[in-house]
Amino acid sequence: MSRWRLQTRFILAGCLLVAATIGSSLASIWTFAQITETTDDAVRSSQEMIDLSAAIHSSLEREDDALLLFLSGPVDVARQELAAERQRGDQALEKLLHRLATDSTDPENLAVRLQHGISAYRAAGDALLATTDRNGGLETYHRLVNPRLREAVAQCDFLREKNFRRMQEAGIVARDQAARGTRGVVAIAAASVVVGIGVAVWLARAVLRPIRELTESVEAIRCGDFDRRVTRASQDELGQLAMGFNRMAEALAEYRQSSLGELLAAKMTLEATLNALPDAVMVFGPGGTVAAYNAPAGELLAACGAAAAERLADIPLPREYRAAIETALAGRIPPAHSFDFTRTFSVVLRGQPRRLLLTAVPVPQFAPGQYGAVAVFDDVTEFARLDELRSELIGMASHELNSPLTALRMNLLMLDECSRPLTGRPRELLEAAIAGCEELGRTVEELLDVSRIEAGQLRLNRTWVDLTTVLAGVIKTLQTRFDDAGVQLVVTTPPSSSSLGVWGDSARLANVLANILGNALKYSPTGGTVQVSLGAGQNAGRADAPVVQIAVTDEGPGVPEPFRERIFEKFFRVEHHLGFRGKDVRGAGIGLYLCREIIHSHGGTICCEPGPGGIGTRFVISLPVDR
Q: Give the CATH number, domain containing residue 128.
A: 1.20.120.1730
Q: Which of 166, 163, 186 has the alpha carbon at shortest distance from 174?
A: 166
**340-364 average pLDDT score:** 80
Q: Are residues 417 and 327 in the same domain?
A: no
**pLDDT confidence tier of residue 338, bands split at 50, 70 and 90:** low
d(CA 297, CA 375): 10
Q: Are 591 and 445 in contact (CB under 8 A)?
A: no
Q: Are residues 475 and 600 in the same domain?
A: yes
Q: Are residues 316 and 339 in the same domain?
A: yes
The amino acid sitting at 364 is P
Contacts of 66 (CB under 8 A, 6+ apart): 78, 79, 81, 82, 85
Domain that holds residue 482: 463-624
Q: Are residues 430 and 496 in the same domain?
A: no
Q: Are 329 and 284 in contact (CB under 8 A)?
A: yes
CA atoms within 13 A of residue 311's CA, in its CB half-sphere: 6
Q: Are residues 285 and 304 in the same domain?
A: yes
Q: Which of 556, 590, 554, 559 has the alpha carbon at shortest distance from 574?
A: 559
Please check whether residue 250 lies inside any domain of the structure.
no
Q: Are residues 179 and 115 in the same domain?
A: yes
Q: Are residues 420 and 308 in the same domain?
A: no
pLDDT in tens, 149-199: 788 778 777 777 777 777 777 778 777 777 777 777 777 777 777 777 777
Q: Are 277 and 296 in contact (CB under 8 A)?
A: yes
Q: What 3-state DSSP class applies to 425?
A: helix
d(CA 96, CA 114): 10
Please check whether residue 233 lies inside any domain of the structure.
no
Confidence at residue 425, expressed as pLDDT on a 0 to 100 scale: 75
CATH number at residue 561: 3.30.565.10
Predicted structure pTM score? 0.42
Q: Are 529 and 555 in contact (CB under 8 A)?
A: yes
Using the predicted structure, report yes or no on whether residue 304 has a pLDDT greater than 80: yes
d(CA 229, CA 245): 8
Q: Are 329 and 318 in contact (CB under 8 A)?
A: no
Q: Based on the structure, what is the number of domains in the chain?
A: 4
Please check whether residue 150 lies inside any domain of the structure.
yes
Q: Helix 75-101 and helix 2-72: axis angle, to 10°? A: 150
Domain-terminating residue out of 454, 474, 498: 454
Confidence at residue 488, expressed as pLDDT on a 0 to 100 scale: 92
pLDDT in tens, 535-555: 887 665 555 578 889 999 999
Please check whether residue 260 lies inside any domain of the structure.
no
Q: What distances in angstroms separate CA 321 from CA 239, 295, 297, 334, 453, one per listed residue?
A: 58, 20, 15, 10, 24
Q: Are residues 470 and 365 in the same domain?
A: no
Higher pLDDT, 57 or 38: 57
Q: Are residues 34 and 58 in the same domain?
A: yes
Residue by residue, DSSP assigns 338-360 as: P--GGG-EEEEETTEEEEEEEEE
Burial per residue of 440-473, b for 16 or more beta-carbon CB atoms within 10 angstroms, e otherwise: ebbbbebbbbbbebbeeebeeeeeebebbebbee
Confidence at residue 2, expressed as pLDDT on a 0 to 100 scale: 41
pLDDT in tens, 117-151: 777 777 777 777 777 666 667 777 777 777 887 88
Q: What distances in angstroms separate CA 450 from CA 73, 505, 570, 593, 604, one per listed residue?
A: 123, 17, 9, 8, 19
Confidence at residue 67, expressed as pLDDT on a 0 to 100 scale: 73
Q: What 3-state DSSP class applies to 223?
A: coil
Q: What 3-state DSSP class applies to 126?
A: helix
**19-39 average pLDDT score:** 72
The amino acid sitting at 116 is H
Q: Are residues 508 and 434 in the same domain?
A: no
Residues of the chain with pLDDT > 70, as a percent, come to 74
Q: Are residues 488 and 618 in the same domain?
A: yes
CA atoms within 13 A of residue 375's CA, in its CB half-sphere: 30
Over the chain, what is the mean pLDDT?
A: 76
**pLDDT confidence tier of residue 456, bands split at 50, 70 and 90:** low
Using the predicted structure, report yes or no on whether residue 531 has a pLDDT greater than 90: yes
Q: Are 92 and 115 in contact (CB under 8 A)?
A: no
Domain-terminating residue out of 421, 436, 454: 454
Confidence at residue 583, expressed as pLDDT on a 0 to 100 scale: 46
Q: Are residues 418 and 505 in the same domain?
A: no
CATH number at residue 440: 1.10.287.130
pLDDT in tens, 508-528: 898 889 889 988 988 888 899
Confidence at residue 118, expressed as pLDDT on a 0 to 100 scale: 79
Please check whether residue 114 lies inside any domain of the structure.
yes
